[in-house]
Amino acid sequence: MGGPEEIQRDLTSEAAVCAKKFMRVDEPVKVYRQVISEHHLGVINAAIDRGESSRGREVLDTLPGGVCSPQAVADLLRRIDAFRMIENEARRAARLRATQLVGRALREEPFHTMRCVGAAEHAHSHRRHFDSHLLTLLVPLQLADPSRFNGDLLFYTKRRQSVSLLANVAYKFWHGFLRNLPFAWRCALTCRDMTRGRCERVPCAVGNVYVFNGFVTQHCNLHVESGERRSLLIHYYDPGLSMGLSVAIRTVRGMRDRLHRA
């Protein structure tokens, strides 16, 4: 990755094009390499290590030490010039596209979540879905041990070209059914789709930032066979096409996780 000036120049020259291409099917993910330094990754992972165990669950609370809450981690990354410019340009492009799609400005507040998944936790693995938000930034913080199943991200090649309220709600119910299948079934379905070329694997690397539109791109994560995978996700711009289901699901999931930690 080049210096801040080079990043700014590249992003500025691409901004107008990116605004038009953000929802095109031929560009499911943009990868910015070596954005986060080893020092920052070390600080974040040390804070997570000092905190309470959070493997296999979304970390929605501030853990001991404070810095390893999702928002605190994101705020720490925003002190990095390159990351801040990438996030701002991605938001600008997504904001323009969102206004074209829904005809109004959407809320600017981000939704932060952090996932720490080990070999014994499969709750979030092989659970294909569309995001509720138009923009997602994925920041791998720690990778699992090298393996066929290491928690990598999968993107399905067939993407939504247009989305209506009823169609989106129908997808929510269908994915809810699939997400509640036994782990072995979910894994078998994913492996079948990989064999048939229905999805593409995105090998992730720590230090990189991955920017994509999960609202039109169906995706999921592989499970982890060995080690622990840690990721920060930042979501922007919910167009409100879920009749409140997305908020309800996040609320129930948060309550479940808090009860599990109690």
| Residue 32, SS3 per DSSP | strand
- Token digits for 241? 């096409």
Q: What is the pLDDT of residue 107?
A: 85
pLDDT for position 164: 59
Q: Report the distance separating Cα 42 and Cα 47, nearest Å.
A: 9
**CA-wise closest residue to 88 among 239, 240, 234:** 234
* Percentage, residues of the chain above pLDDT 70: 69
Angle CA(93)–CA(94)–CA(95) in degrees, nearest 5? 90
| CA distances (Å), origin 171, targets 103, 153, 242 | 23, 20, 10
- 89/81 Cα distance (integer angstroms): 12
Q: What pLDDT is stored for residue 123 in this prediction?
A: 81
> Sign of the C-alpha dihedral, residues 17, 135, 51, 205?
negative
**Cα first-last separation, the chain:** 42
State which residues of the chain have pLDDT below 50: 1, 3-26, 53-66, 242-253, 255-262
Lookup: tokens for 203: 């090998």
In the chain the beta strands, taken as DSSP E runs, fall at 29-32, 57-58, 111-118, 135-142, 153-156, 199-202, 209-212, 219-221, 228-236
pTM comes to 0.75
Q: Where are the domains of the chain?
A: 4-261
User: In the structure encoding, which two tokens stand for residue 143, read together?
Assistant: 């990778």
For the segment 137-184, what is each residue's pLDDT rounded down to a tens digit?
Answer: 999 999 999 999 999 999 998 877 666 566 656 667 766 777 888 999
Q: Which two tokens stand for residue 194?
A: 């990989």
What is the distance, to the nearest Å, from the Cα of residue 169 to the centroid of all Cα atoms in its chain? 20
Architecture per CATH, domain 4-261, reads as: Sandwich (2.60)
